[in-house]
Chain A
Amino acid sequence: MATSTKHTTEWHSPRSGDSRRTLSPRPQIANLLAGLAGVGFGAVTALALETEGHSALYSPGGWALAVTRFSGFWGGYLLLLMVLLMVRLPWLERTVGQDQLVRWHRKVAPWATSLTSLHVLAAILGYAQMLHNSILSQAWIFVLHYPDMLAAYVGWILLLVAAFSSIRIARRKMRYETWWVVHLYTYLGLGLAFMHQIRTGIMFLGHPLSTQMWTWTWIGAGVVTLLWRVAVPVVRNLRFGLRVADISEVAPGVRSVTVSGRHLDRLAVNGGQFFQWRFMAKELWWHSHPYSLSALPRPPFLRVTVKGLGDQSSALKDLKVGTRVFVEGPYGAFTRHRMTRERVVLIGAGVGITPLRALLEDLPENRPVSVIIRARTAEDVVHGDEMKLLVEARKGSYHELIGSRDDVSLDAATLTSLAHGLADSDVFICGPEGFTESVVASLQEAGVPHSRIHFESFTF
């Protein structure tokens, strides 16, 4: 088809003009948000602390109730932070990177879950001691007689289910969709657990200002979540109206999907960033996948290059031209803004070459650049021709290392010989997990400091 050739060739040509909008990372905003997170943590700690006193501690159930307050506030606040880390706040996404945000989310998760559970148990124990009830009957009394406690229990259970579903072993056995729906329910759980804080929390009693601030913090978190996770993507996609324009095989089992849409000149994206892609076709629409752009946008076109891995990726071969596409993004901090040195080295393998391809295109033209690509066979090199052209335009060096993992070793000596001034370069790596690990090790051996080795890791 004529259009097919047209689209595939177009990506070779240099992009005309550069009025494209770009986005810089915002470290100050990230710092400010980190500070705000701290303020909130200090504030809730103070709220719990202020309620304590000698006589409160030494009255019946006093210690358990103190534990209840601290664990409740800390657990609840950490849950709030976990939600906010995943809100896809654009400034955070391109400053910190989604992989790092997810890592923090996972790091906080066990604390939030165990503190919340401790809160539930300590509350039952403390009230049972204070009111001289048995523990079981106290748990029941909470449900029956205390305002909003039933909802809070339900919220806690929803939270526990999500927590268990995210444990590595369970996560592996579970379909992505199941995990996703369970996670969606945690929003409901948090909503249900909110009212009991205000209604039974002693620190809010007769403190209208504290109550309002806490309430607005939660409402604010909800609004921000709805805004960035729902409203912004929906509005953008209605505006862009993306549809599949072309599908072509660029290497065995690897396909380039070109989509077209309106107003793409208004889309600000950096080379190396990714979107969550959702193809609105049967068996595909309920599943979104992160794919990096394999070239900078050429309005009205965007391109991703996908390998046949995973359920969606293999179903992509049946994808039809004209299918609607829904994207969320751009996300990721794997961009030229990570550079701190004059020289740049890009090292990639397999389909991991694609973000490097876009990143290369995004580099300032005067930068000396070395590209090192490893592939099993010469055929498997994705977008090798495009990379060559881009490197030539930048007077850099381009190396393809062909052979299996055992034949071709990317050790410190090889890397140093291939990349000029390696020790004084920024190195961007993209490839399978094992590949990235071994390259990082070689680079460190070659004297590249960790702060100049850039990669994204989505295995947690």
Chain B
Amino acid sequence: MKRTPFVVIGTAVGLAAVLGFRSTPVSVHLNFPTSSVGASGASGSTSSTSSTSSGSTGVSVGVGSSTTTTPSTVSGSTKASLGRSTPATLTAFRSATTSTSSVGGEHALATTTTVKKKTTTTTAKKKKPTTTTTAKKKPTTTTTVKKKPTTPTTAKKPAGKQVLTGPLVNYYYGVLSVKVTVANKKITSLAIGQLTDGGNPRSAVIDNAAIPILEKAVLGLSSSQQHSMAVSGNNPQLNVVAVSGATYTSAGFDVSLQNALYKLKTQGLI
């Protein structure tokens, strides 16, 4: 046919254009609370540097999750949440959503690409309000995430380095826990202790895109800001770090992280 070459060339152009220029815009909002919230009842387990996170005990936060980290229980609770029942914590998650809303039980979508950072006002000092970067991350559809354990660059483990895994949090689309490594009263690395998102590819994509951004965002905070995140409870300060489009994942991440930090604080490690 006469016009076949045009169709073929067009196809190549279309393929190249999409594969070459498509990226994932996901945005981060850092909303630092104006007042710190005290709470109680959190726990977490500290383990020494050498031990792996498998020894850590998950702690129940919220209704949907159980106190154990046995996979069967976890997947059970995940299924329950995927069945569109609303855990009690969800209400809190929702009310805390700042920039996006959830539509029909789905993850909300983000349209902004900027990173905002607000300063905390608990300290009287004024800080520069923003550093703006654009977050780009390509999602893949792996159903489970193992995020960079980020072993310290030095082969020798520095003294005082502690690893603590935060409570396993049911964030409606799955369960996750955050693993915090501290050294010299500072967070040196963050990782995911455990993540089960029910195998839903949508959730997997969101989690894969959002979690690295959340980790980076927290590591980019000043230590006083990090310290102010040390709060316990199942609803301490939501959306301290949040990726829009991944409201639920962010909330779950926050809760686990804040409880982990609280535990570390009580042990005087940060």
Contact = CB atoms under 8 A, between A and B. Distances in A.
Contact of B142 (A32, A37, A56): A56
Contact of B200 (A51, A131, A199, A208): A131
A35 B9 contact: yes
Looking at chain A's contact residues, is the secondary structure mostly helix, strand, loop, or mixed? helix
A367 B30 CA distance: 79
Contacts of B6: 31-32, 34-35, 38
Interface string B237-269: 000000001000000000000000000000000
B216 interface: no
A131 B75 CA distance: 11
B11 A38 contact: yes
Contacts of A36: 10
Given A50-B22, A131-B199, A202 B109 contact: no
27 contacts: A32-B6, A34-B7, A35-B10, A37-B10, A38-B10, A39-B14, A39-B17, A42-B13, A42-B17, A43-B17, A45-B15, A46-B15, A49-B19, A55-B140, A56-B140, A56-B141, A56-B201, A59-B141, A59-B142, A202-B201, A202-B202, A205-B205, A205-B206, A206-B24, A206-B25, A206-B110, A207-B24
* Most chain A C-beta atoms within 10 Å of own C-beta, residue among B22, B82, B209: B22
Contacts of A56: 140-142, 201
B218 to A, nearest CB: 20
A130 interface: yes
Interface string B182-201: 00000000000000001111
Nearest to A60: B199
Which 4 A-B pairs rank lowest in CB-CB distance, beginning with the nearest?
A: A38-B10, A42-B14, A46-B18, A56-B141
A37 B106 contact: no
Contacts of A37: 7, 10
Using C-beta atoms within 8 Å of the partner chain, give the interface range for chain B.
Answer: 35 or more
Given A36-B10, A46-B14, A53 B25 contact: no
B16 A65 contact: no
Interface residues of A, number: 41
A68 B104 CA distance: 23
A455 interface: no
Contact of B16 (A31, A35, A42, A52): A42
A453 interface: no
B147 to A, nearest CB: 14
A43 B19 CA distance: 8
Contacts of B139: 205-206
Given A47-B18, A55-B142, A130-B201, 5 more contacts: A38-B8, A42-B12, A47-B22, A147-B103, A210-B22
Contacts of B157: none
A145 interface: yes
B99 to A, nearest CB: 14
A130 B199 CA distance: 7
B53 interface: no
